[in-house]
């Protein structure tokens, strides 16, 4: 699923998330490709019978009406390779009014489980997980006793390697001078850090599209590790930050992700910000390398001059579809820009919500 389609799908989910019922009146049905429609229909008819036990007459009527609606649609629905999802229910419109609404979506990824869910809101989590950006981040938590290496992909944290050290404790054994003991301890720490660096390189260097690396541990351990440049230079350049975490086992990986939440949330915005800063710089220094406003951008698309098409997330969706088709026809990149930062908000406010960085100077 490309960025535009993913953005549009997220918009649909956001709209569905705003819909609420007065009781447990909103039904969500997830149907995988290999699930027999006859089995689904049989189950929904059973649910229809069970709904007779609902005490509230209005809730009972609304649930049964929604089930009737879904059952009628199942007679002619075609289930694609990824399966199909049906949302149906009496949506609260305020002022004692409700309206039975139905949405049928083909998920962007394959469904593996049949789900029936009835609540005061639609069950969207499985679909929301599908459109979360799934870039991979490397994770490392360490102290002088142990280290754990893992990855974060989407919302999934995976532990890949756990190491333990032979670094002696701070209390020396009898017969050793303080200076000699400290030297031996420093050598053991350095050896452990080198071993961590070697394993991180083996685990993460070949990870495709590794977006960055997060490092956690107590101070000053993690800081000493970073200062020592124990990682391969390509990985060293991908470090996004170091964070204080209490644990250095598998649970420490999840703690690290939680502590680094602000950094991770800002990654997409930073990429969008860089694009807008580039657009602004070209506009100021060489305005023949950019275009903005629907009419001008459309003209450059027809000439095949557009390298990257920039849309505000607030732009009208119909206009977006039309221009995206033209951009894809000439092999131009397409980016949706959030209004959640100054340059992003300017795209909509000052440039009509659409702009372009060009492949060559065009007057």
Specify the pairing of strand 136-142 against strand 210-217: parallel
The model's pTM is 0.55
Specify the pairing of strand 333-337 against strand 306-312: parallel
Task: Count CB atoms within 10 A of the CB of residue 112.
Answer: 11
Q: What is the pLDDT of residues 344-357, one digit of tens each?
A: 889 988 999 999 99
- Residue 248 burial (C-beta neighbours within 10 Å; 0-12, 13-18, 19+): buried
| Cross-strand partners of 94 | 97
* Calpha distance 129→145 (Å, rounded): 36
Q: What is the pLDDT of residues 272-282, one digit of tens each?
A: 888 899 999 99
Q: Is the pLDDT of residue 362 over 80?
A: yes
Task: Count CB atoms within 10 A of the CB of residue 262.
Answer: 8
Query: Residues 47-68: what's their mean pLDDT?
Result: 92
Query: Residues 274-293: what's their mean pLDDT?
Result: 92
* Calpha distance 36→46 (Å, rounded): 16
Report the chain's mean pLDDT, rounded to a whole number.
Answer: 89
Q: Is the pLDDT of residue 175 over 60?
A: no
CA-closest candidate to residue 197, choices 208, 186, 189, 207: 189
Q: Which domains are assigned to the chain?
A: 3-130 (3.30.960.10), 136-259 (3.30.420.60), 266-358 (3.30.1330.30)
The helix/strand/coil state of 150 is strand
Assign 174 a pLDDT band (cuts: 50, 70, 90): low
Q: Is the pLDDT of residue 341 over 80?
A: no
Phi-psi map region of 23: left, alpha, beta (phi>0 left; psi -120 to 50 alpha): beta
Distant-in-sequence contacts of 172-179, Cβ < 8 A, 24+ apart:
none
Query: Residues 219-248: what's their mean pLDDT?
Result: 92
Q: Is the pLDDT of residue 266 over 80?
A: no
CA-closest candidate to residue 110, choices 168, 55, 32: 32
């Amino acid at each position: 699923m490309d960025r535009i389609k993913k953005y549009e799908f997220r918009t649909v989910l956001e709209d569905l998330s705003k819909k609420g019922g007065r009781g447990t009146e909103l039904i969500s049905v997830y149907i995988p490709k290999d699930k027999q429609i006859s089995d689904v229909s049989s189950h929904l008819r059973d649910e229809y019978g069970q709904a007779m036990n609902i005490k509230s007459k209005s809730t009972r009527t609304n649930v049964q009406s929604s089930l009737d609606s879904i059952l009628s649609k199942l007679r002619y629905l075609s289930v694609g390779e990824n399966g199909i999802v049906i949302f149906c229910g009496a949506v609260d419109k305020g002022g004692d009014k409700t309206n039975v609404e139905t949405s049928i979506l083909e998920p962007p990824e394959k469904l593996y489980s049949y789900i029936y869910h009835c609540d005061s809101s639609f069950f969207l989590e499985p679909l929301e997980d599908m459109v979360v950006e799934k870039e991979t981040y490397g994770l490392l938590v360490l102290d002088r006793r142990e280290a754990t290496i893992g990855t974060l992909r989407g919302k999934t944290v995976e532990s890949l390697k756990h190491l333990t050290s032979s670094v002696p404790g701070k209390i020396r054994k009898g017969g050793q001078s303080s200076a000699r003991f400290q030297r031996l301890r420093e050598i053991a720490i350095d050896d452990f850090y080198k071993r961590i660096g070697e394993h991180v390189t083996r685990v993460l260097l070949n990870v495709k599209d590794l977006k960055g690396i997060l490092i956690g541990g107590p101070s000053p351990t993690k800081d000493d590790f970073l200062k020592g440049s124990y990682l391969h230079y390509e990985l060293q350049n991908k470090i996004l930050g170091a964070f204080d975490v209490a644990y250095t086992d598998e649970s420490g990986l999840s703690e690290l992700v939680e502590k680094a939440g602000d950094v991770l949330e800002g990654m997409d915005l930073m990429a969008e910000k860089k694009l807008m800063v580039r657009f602004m710089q070209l506009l100021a220094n060489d305005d023949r390398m950019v275009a903005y406003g629907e009419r001008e951008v459309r003209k450059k698309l027809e000439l095949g001059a557009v390298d990257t098409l920039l849309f505000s997330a607030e732009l009208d969706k119909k206009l977006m579809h039309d221009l995206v088709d033209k951009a894809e026809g000439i092999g131009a990149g397409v980016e949706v820009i959030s209004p959640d930062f100054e340059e992003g908000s300017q795209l909509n406010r000052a440039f009509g919500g659409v702009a372009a960085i060009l492949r060559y100077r065009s007057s």
